[in-house]
Structure 1
Amino acid sequence: MRAKKMAFLADRLNLVDTLDKRFIYLLFRLD
């Protein structure tokens, strides 16, 4: 599950700006 999540994040980070990256990172840390 973690590997799949990491792949999802890696893909998303290529599409979002700095603020969104920070937001997604925080969501990831909460899990």
Structure 2
Amino acid sequence: MKESAKKLDFEEAAKYRDLIKDLKDRVLINKA
């Protein structure tokens, strides 16, 4: 149970990291 929960957290973290990166890229493009 703990292992799957840990894996889920890792996947969620990766997903949010991609979202934040995408948002930052959009902001940079808008500023340019």
Q: TM-score, normalising length from structure 2?
A: 0.45
Q: Which has the higher helix share?
A: 2
**1 or 2 for the larger relative contact order (CA 8 Å, sep ≥6)?**
1
Larger Rg: 2
